[in-house]
Amino acid sequence: MKFIRAIPAISRETKAARSSGHPVVLVPTMGNLHAGHLSLIRRARKLAGAKGTVVVTLFVNRIQFGPTEDFASYPRNLKRDTALCREAGVDILFAPSDAVIYPGAHSTYVVESRLAKRMEGASRPTHFRGVTTVVAKLFNLVQPDAAVFGAKDWQQAAVIRQMTTDLNFPIRIVVAPTVRERDGLALSSRNAYLSPAEREQATVLYDVIRAARLAVKHAPAPLPAGVLRRKLSRLVAKQRLAKLDYIEFFDPKTLEPAKRVERGTHIALAVFFGKTRLIDNGRL
């Protein structure tokens, strides 16, 4: 595995990889890797094939964090992440510094203005601007044939797919399934922030998704979104350490809000446990 920190080196190595004629597949991450990230790397290897190149990036992207969010405390473990990538068969690991990605007086941003407005975009107004900017930069540096993202960040994947189409990046966007703990909690680097009591109650996110699926399954007709949202909100309220941010129902392709909820509708939610904010989503 080649470990790279500089832009000239990543450009040179990925250019050489592309010249081989075999696929180059990118997995962008913010590090602190867990089993969910490793599942994305495995998917990337399937797409690249034995002779292709899997590129993983480790970069905690400050511009996608709000001023009161956890950029400074976000978990970082470069030594462990490097070992995991090597064990997973990654070909190139790109771990740039902040100064490498945003040198000098950086003032150019990439903004997707439709899909990014609701849900995460409403709760974190500058978040997707940061995501699309750094992903566009990584796409330009690596120029992969495909890039793999996780379904846990469903809206993020939709925003990136839209950006890829709009800016004519010749890159296939692949969304891999969410990986969960045995009790249903979606794997996330931020799970490490949870106290034992918060961790126990954090399963309420998946409980909400399961309750919504059950309601839709047994409903004789589509359910009014407002009615179902209130019912599910009460489920969150039963957990004394949980504070609901939002529950939304929407079309999984367009992200348009659903006034009535039925099979095929998507649900997404965000819940605070103290200062820790967790998200999840699922198809009903």
Q: Which residues contact 179 (CB under 8 A, 6 or more apart)?
A: 35, 36, 39, 150, 186, 187
Exposure string of 190-224, with b = 16+ CB inside 10 Å and e = fewer, is bbebbeeebbebbbbbbbbbebbeebbeeeeeebe
Residues 121/128, Cβ–Cβ less than 8 Å: yes
* Active-site entry in 37, 127, 218, 266: 37
Residues 156/128, Cβ–Cβ less than 8 Å: yes
Place of tokens 């939709």: 158
Pairing, β 276-283 against β 266-273: antiparallel
Sheet holding 276-283, edge to edge: 242-250, 266-273, 276-283
What does the block give as tokens for 10? 């990543």
37 is catalytic: yes
Name the DSSP letter for residue 151. G
Burial class (CB in 10 A: 0-12, 13-18, 19+), 133: buried
What does the block give as tokens for 210? 């399961």
Q: Cα dihedral angle (149, 151, 155, 159), rounded to 10 degrees? A: 30
Task: Report which of 187, 183, 217 is spatially closest to residue 280, judged by C-alpha positions.
Answer: 187
Residues 95/4, Cβ–Cβ less than 8 Å: yes
Q: Which residues are catalytic?
A: 37
